[in-house]
Amino acid sequence: MTQLNMQSSAGFRSRLDGPAELRKAHAAVAIGNFVEWFDFAIYGYFAAIIGRVFFPSAEPGISLLSSLAVFAVGFVSRPLGALIFGPLGDRYGRKPVLATTIAGMGLVTALIGLLPGYASIGIAAPILLIILRFLQGMMVGGEWTSAGIFIVESAPPDHRAVAASLVTCTAGLAYVAGTSTAVVLSATLSDDTILSWGWRLPFLSSVVLAAIGLYIRRELDETPVFNAIKLKRSNADFSPASLRDNVRALTVSLSFSSLFGVSLYYLLVYAANHLSQTVGLSRVDALWPCAVALTISVAANPVFGYLSDAFGRRPLVLASAAGLSLFGYPLFLILNTSNISLILIALTMLGILVAMEAVMNVILLVEVFPASIRSSGAAIGHNLALALLAGPSPLIGAGLVYMTGDANAPGWYLALISIICFFVLWFLLPETRGKDIAKG
C-alpha cells in the first residue's frame, strides 16, 4: 500500500476507534440484529399455531410437520440471499447491506402477520406464506454475516471475540423476547384467541422495531477494513482474493456453521415443539424452560468471547463439537422424562454449548476469509450450512419421531452432525486469534 493509502487507512481507523463511534456502531448492530432475529424467531415459536391456521389437518403431527417445512423454506432461500448480499457487501460496503436487510425483514414479517389463513382464502394462504418465508430467509441470509463482519472489523484486535459476542447476545435476546412473548400470549389469551388473531401481534410489531433499527443503521460509518480494501481496489496492481482459492476456508465455515446451526435450532425451535407435541407438556410448560435456558446461554456469550480472546478459537470450537457429540442423544432421553427440573438442566447444558459455538461462529466467519471476499465467503459458507443441515433440523427431528415412533430419535441427528464437524475441524481449522483481518 502506498504511503498515502496507509495514511488514509489510519484515518479511517482513528475515526471509528473513538468511543462515540464505537458506541454508535455497537448500538446499530445490536438493535438491528435484535429486530432481525426477533422477526425470524417468532415463526418458530408459533409453528404449531401457524400449522393449524395455514395447514389444517385432522392429525396435529401433520400440521406441525407442514409448518416446520415452511420454517425450513426460510433457510433454503438463505444461500440466494448470500449470493446477492455477500458480493454487494464486498463491493459497496457492509453498511448498505445492513440497512437493506432490516428494512426488508420488517416489511415481510409484518405481511406474514396480515396474511389471511386457509379458512379465508384456501390454498393461496400457504402459498403466500411460503413466498414470504422465502423472502424472509433471503434477508436473514445477508444479516448474520454482515452484522458479524461489521462489528468484528470495527473492534480492537485483542477484543474481537468479545465484540463478536454482541452479535450473538442480541440474537439470543431476540429469541428470549420471542419465547417470552409466546409465553405471555399463551398464559393470558385463550387457545381460540391465539389461533384467531393473537399469534399475529408479534409479527405486526416488527414494523416499529424495524423502523427504529433502520434509522440507527443509516447513521453508521463504514468499517476501517472495508475502507482500506476500497482504497486498495483503486490501485491498478491490486489483485483481490477469490473463493476458488479459498476452498479450505469454505469447508471450515460449512463445518462450524453446521455445528452451530443444528444445535441452535434444536434449542430455539425444535425443543419447545417437541415438548408440547411429542412429550405432551402444556404450551407454557414447554416454553418457559426453553426461555430460561436461552437466557443463561445469552449470559454465557461474552464469557466465551473473553476466553477465546485469551486462549484462542480452536480449543473452544473443538470442545463444543465434542460436547454436542456426546450429549445429543442423552438430551432427548432427559426431555422425554416429562420432568420439568431435569428438562431445564438438560436445556441449560445445551444452551451453554450453543453459546460457545455461537461466538466462535461469528468470529471465525471473519477470520478465516480474506478481507476482499469476506462478505461473500462468509455469507455463502454460513448460509449453505444452515440451508442444507441446520434449517431443516426441526423438520428432520419431527420427521424422525413421526416415521420411527421413537421420541429419542432426533438426538441421533444432532450427535451425527456434531461428530462429523468435530473431525473436519480437528484436521482443517487453524488457530486464527491474532490474525491480521485487513489482508487480502
Task: State residue 354's pLDDT score.
Answer: 96
Query: What are the residue boundaries of the structural domains of the chain, listed by start?
Result: 24-232+243-428
**CA distance linking residue 154 with residue 28, whole number of Å:** 12
Q: Taking the CB of residue 335, how many other CB atoms lie within 10 A of it?
A: 26
**CA distance linking residue 141 with residue 75, whole number of Å:** 8
Q: What is the chain's pLDDT, residue by residue, as a tens digit (440 residues)? A: 444 343 334 444 444 455 666 777 777 778 777 877 787 677 767 777 887 888 776 455 666 667 767 767 777 888 898 889 999 999 898 889 988 988 888 899 899 999 998 889 988 888 898 899 889 888 888 888 888 999 999 888 899 999 999 999 998 888 788 777 877 888 888 888 888 898 899 888 888 878 887 887 877 788 888 888 888 877 766 677 788 889 999 999 999 999 999 999 899 778 988 999 899 998 789 988 988 998 999 999 999 999 999 999 999 999 999 999 999 999 999 999 999 999 999 999 999 999 999 999 999 999 999 998 999 999 999 999 988 888 788 889 989 998 999 999 999 999 999 999 999 999 999 999 999 998 87
Please tell me whether residue 220 adopts helix, strand or coil conformation: coil
By CB atoms closer than 10 A (0-12, 13-18, 19+), residue 296 is middle
Q: What is the pTM of this model?
A: 0.84
Side-chain half-sphere exposure of 304, counting CA atoms within 13 A: 31
Q: Taking the CB of residue 236, how many other CB atoms lie within 10 A of it?
A: 5
Q: What is the DSSP code (8-state) at residue 223?
A: P
**CA distance linking residue 37 with residue 48, whole number of Å:** 19
**CA distance linking residue 261 with residue 255, whole number of Å:** 10
24-232+243-428: CATH class: mainly alpha
**CA distance linking residue 99 with residue 151, whole number of Å:** 15
What Rg, from alpha-carbon coordinates, does the chain have? 21
The type of residue at 227 is N
All three cell numbers of 121, joined, read 382464502
DSSP secondary structure letters along 363-404 = HHHHHTS-GGGHHHHHHHHHHHHIIIIITTHHHHHHHHHHHH
**CA distance linking residue 280 with residue 274, whole number of Å:** 8
Q: What is the DSSP code (8-state) at residue 269?
A: I
**CA distance linking residue 356 with residue 38, whole number of Å:** 21
